Structure 1
């Protein structure tokens, strides 16, 4: 929880080291990381089934971060929430940390946000707290990267950011790295070890270039439920499904596959009609694996799938179905509704 370990250190050490300035106190208790410590993985897309359904979308969005914090990920935030509160939005710690992300009352106002638009920004509101957690971690990761770059900090940015979330940024800065505070080190170790449990399966490498990678990314989610509005760049989401089930709709699957296959450089819009405006048109039957195939089902350009080759495609069909492969090119239902194919290609570096 933000600042908890620093609070405990101040209370416990003061009785023994009365009058010592904070920098000297931390100098006594700090043991820097070895320079050969492997970099901590920040995880990746969220394994939705590992977290309570009401929090999945908020974790995915908060974990996307921005250009200041590339190590941030939904899986990292989920592992951190599990350590902080066990996903309990009403949790209150012995030192007063509050909510699912365990913000201290003094820290919360800096990062408070009314993420769900209900008129109140509260650490006990999971949407607000998870969004604030993402903003806070993003800032801490940026601070850690800057400190490593200018030589004032040593260590790994993910470990340093997690430590700062627990004991405070001033604690890490004074230490010049990861402090030798038992609670903080245990906190960091547990979260890093748990990240893999909250990370979605990574598709194996695919042949066939970008198109092949699009195919593999989509096939990794075969059997995932169809959810209207479901899916984004990082995996399945609950979309507009009131049951809380995470999944993909047709365009959610394609935008996910394109983003993953391109290493995050291609962000397709979610609306199928808008996706049809991307890339370049494919003439005739020159359809390659990874191309996007469009159909007029419930209206013009209302459905999209991903070509697999040999007249097959993978798609998220409709409510009650799951992500599946079909032979569309020999099925009159699909051929009668075929509207065109687009080829999406990543920009050259």
Structure 2
């Protein structure tokens, strides 16, 4: 586990930065040497299967910087936590950094918050520490963006924030306003910027068509994702109801996700194939469009659902041992013998 060194803390020269957790500074680096720092965003939406379920909502909330600090993202914070503690809420480093976000005792009081309302604010409480992590990152990103705008710092705010978290804002300023020529600091920035992409949810390809095409694109973004019984929600793959620890989708989890994403969060289908069959409007077999939900009786009545792609194809999460895949169904005797019906889900507004 990375830990803050006394030597680097001394170089920093800013007491408020001495105890910063090393892993709080991950970001995707875009070397944009302009005076418009807000254009650089670190990562994006959280890829649900990359973090423990208990921390997902806290990371998402803490990383949604919006207008306060647009460079902040859930993916950034997740990568930081992984780098710092491996998501271990009881971690203690050799130099005394504490908890999942590895705050030093001297730094914690500045950013401490009782996020979960249990009456205490502790660096060993994941909700408190992750929320404090987001607050601290937001403040530091504001400092670096302001320095770039004023001409005292050079580079992009995310990379500079990474460097400042590692060796202190004074250290960055002493280096001429850029990333200091300190091996640990440069390695730190390089290592963690590369990791952010692993925690960022894939973005469906741009679609010029309508709602049905967006449903298809959202599902196709997760091609080759493992089938997991009970897996998947509106935000992406989950570990489901099994004990394997693998994140993925079952058939109705994939359709739930795709429809939710395509509708911009306006439609959340129930996570059960039979209930999904009660949604939308029925469609004749000769009028199936891309994005329609196709239902089959495989292991029982209404036991499987897929998304129509057109030309007799569908994308689905088939069964244990398989992954999300595209298959031709309309000329396959197995599927045509088990075909039950089609439903078209449409948002209330275009």
Which interval holds the TM-score relative to the shorter structure? 0.5 to 0.7
Query: What residue is the counterpart of 2:308 in the other structure?
Result: 307
1:251 and 1:177 mapped to 2: Cα distance? 51
Query: What residue is the counterpart of 2:131 in the other structure?
Result: 132
1:320 and 1:130 mapped to 2: Cα distance? 38
1:147 and 1:299 mapped to 2: Cα distance? 61
Residue from 331, 343, 348 that aligns with 2:346: 343
Aligned pairs for 1:84-95 within 5 A: 84-85=84-85, 90-95=90-95
Considering only aligned residues, what root-mean-square deviation do their CA atoms show, in Å?
5.2
1:55 aligns with 2:52: yes
1:178 and 1:276 mapped to 2: Cα distance? 57
Query: What residue is the counterpart of 1:271 in the other structure?
Result: 270
Query: What residue is the counterpart of 1:241 in the other structure?
Result: 242
In the TM superposition, residue 308 of structure 1 has moved relative to its aligned partner by: 0.9
CA spacing shift, 1:197–1:301, aligned 2, 3 Å: same
Task: Give the TM-score normalised by the residue count of structure 1.
Answer: 0.63
Aligned pairs for 1:111-190 within 5 A: 111=112, 123-124=123-124, 127-128=126-127, 131-132=130-131, 135-136=134-135, 139-140=138-139, 143=142, 147=146, 156-159=156-159, 161-163=161-163, 165-166=165-166, 180=180, 182=182, 186-190=187-191
2:55 and 2:78 mapped to 1: Cα distance? 10
Query: What residue is the counterpart of 1:101 in the other structure?
Result: 101
Instruction: Say whether the 8 Å CA contact 1:226–1:248 is kept in structure 2.
Output: yes
In the TM superposition, residue 246 of structure 1 has moved relative to its aligned partner by: 0.6
Where 2:242 maps in the other structure, the secondary structure is coil
1:35 aligns with 2:34: yes
1:167 and 1:140 mapped to 2: Cα distance? 16
Where 1:343 maps in the other structure, the secondary structure is coil
In the TM superposition, residue 238 of structure 1 has moved relative to its aligned partner by: 1.5
Instruction: Say whether the 8 Å CA contact 2:48–2:56 is kept in structure 1.
Output: no
Instruction: Say whether the 8 Å CA contact 1:44–1:73 is kept in structure 2.
Output: yes
Query: What residue is the counterpart of 1:222 in the other structure?
Result: 223
Q: Which runs of 5+ in 1 are unaligned?
A: 15-20, 24-32
1:305-345, CA deviations, whole angstroms, 9 ceiling, x for partnerless residues? 32111343222245555323455556355433x36221358
Query: What residue is the counterpart of 1:281 in the other structure?
Result: 281
Aligned pairs for 1:191-230 within 5 A: 191-199=192-200, 208=209, 210-230=211-231
Instruction: Say whether the 8 Å CA contact 1:2–1:165 is kept in structure 2.
Output: no
Task: Give the TM-score normalised by the residue count of structure 2.
Answer: 0.63
Where 2:217 maps in the other structure, the secondary structure is helix
1:300 and 1:72 mapped to 2: Cα distance? 46
How many residue pairs match? The answer is: 322
Instruction: Say whether the 8 Å CA contact 1:45–1:235 is kept in structure 2.
Output: no
